[in-house]
Amino acid sequence: MRCGTRLCFRKPNSIQRTLAFLIAAYALYLPANLLPITVTRSIFGTQEDTILSGVAYLWNSGSWAIALVVFVASVVVPLFKLFSLTLLVISVQRRWHWEPLRRMKLYRFIETIGRWSMLDVYVVTILVALVQVQSLAAISPGSGVLAFAAVVVLSMLATMAFEPRLIWDSLDNPLPKEFAP
Amino acid sequence: MEHDRALLMTDVGGLTICPECDLLVQEPASAEASSFTLLCPRCSALLRRRNRNSLENSLALVFAALVLLLAGNAFPIVGLDIQGQRIETTVVGAAASLWQEGLRPVAVLVLLTTTFLPLLELGTLLWMVLPLRLGRRPPGFVRLFCVLRLAHPWAMVEVFILGVLVALVKLAHLADVLPGAAAWCFGGLMLLLATLSIVVEPRDLWQRWEEARP
């Protein structure tokens, strides 16, 4: 009304758009984890690192706290987000009555944690910018970064496209008669 | 003007619609107190919060955050010391090296989320809050509100800081790492932005806008 955004009270085509972004994110998830995110060229040879091998490297070198942070941010959070959003979309489409408050909290939770997956993208950015000593070692980004950044952005878009009010709809308007048991 | 009156009338009724679950909520009579928080009884979404001096506080925070953001981009964020040879990089420099490596979308994404969008958010807030504090209506208020809402989730200064820390740990085995001045600036900026998001209350801004001279 006043702020010009209320003309459409709800996000239009929420379920379709959420699903579209979700499917795109799922499709890119495998390449994001299988393709190397950094390629290190040094006098000892060339080494390609994926997200998981980067975590393993941190773990083995003793910084297990940092390894845990990176693992949570770039493996647990994206997966958790994709699965919970899928669950939410299904629950809304099937008009479940189950625990609306808990589903609402789940939605808010994935909205807050989603941004932390960008962590690895920033790490790679800084590694690439700093380690350019030609004689010793040079790190260049792998194509995995592109896929991973795309997964993060797409899953954030999917979360934004989802309309949490749909969770409450099945409570306000019970099923139409022909579908009632 | 027509809509303004309509909205004022719904305000008189003391009813609010929860923005997350569409429940109609009766605002309590104590809503005119100077400082309070109102939550949706069904889904516990934040409906309304009012702090004393919210405009003054947000102005101070915006100015401080702008200084830190500019300084954070002017100084190197991390440095490496390899056998006496010193390498440093700024945020823009780091994004530029990604660009040169052919990952242009990622370079743009990094620059957007760490520099441009926080700058846009702070600039927009300044543009909106400063005239309101002086009792005037800022031009383009309505559109800027949408800009603010769209930009907010994409400004990721706090994630960037963690990324810098992780990169430092990874490089610590390779060479001496030196956190640059910008790292501290971004750290401070993270805290200021977090405070700012608590202090700025959209409904207060709208109310001031209505009271202000057109």
In the block, residue with structure tokens 């003391």 = B14
Size of interface A-B (CB pairs under 8 A): 146
Q: Which two tokens stand for residue B175?
A: 């060479």
pLDDT, residue B10, reads 43
- Are the Cβ atoms of B159 and A115 closer than 8 angstroms? yes
Per the DSSP assignment, residues forming a β-bridge with A132 are: A138
Q: Residue B16 is inside which H or E element, if any?
A: strand B15-17
In terms of Cβ atoms closer than 10 Å to its own Cβ (0-12, 13-18, 19+), residue A149 is: buried
Q: Is the CB of residue B95 less than 8 Å away from at least one CB of chain A?
A: yes
Residue of A nearest to B152 (CA): A115
Asked if B159 is an interface residue toward chain A (Cβ–Cβ < 8 A), one would say yes
Contact by Cβ (8 Å): B16, B47 = yes
- Nearest Cβ partner of A156 from B103, B153, B166? B153
One digit per residue, pLDDT tens: chain B, 214 residues?
333 333 433 444 567 777 777 777 777 665 555 566 778 877 777 777 666 667 888 888 999 999 999 998 888 888 887 777 778 888 888 888 888 888 888 889 988 998 899 999 899 989 888 888 887 888 877 788 888 888 888 888 888 888 888 888 888 877 778 888 888 898 899 899 888 888 887 777 777 777 777 6
Handedness of CA A127, A132, A133, A136 (dihedral sign): positive
Has the ipTM of the complex gone over 0.90?
Answer: no
CB contact under 8 A, B162 and A116: yes
Measured CA distances, B70 to A89, B64, B85, B128 (Å): 42, 10, 27, 20
Answer whether A122 sits within 8 Å of B95, measured CB to CB: no
A136·B82 Cβ contact <8 A? yes
Phi/psi region, residue A93 (left: phi>0; alpha: psi -120 to 50; beta: rest), is alpha
Which of B81, B72, B82, B85 has the alpha carbon at shortest distance from B116?
B72
**Does B173 sit within 8 Å of A61, measured CB to CB?**
yes
Residue ranges of chain A whose pLDDT lies below 50: 1-8, 175-181
Q: Is residue B1 less than 8 Å (CB to CB) from chain A?
A: no
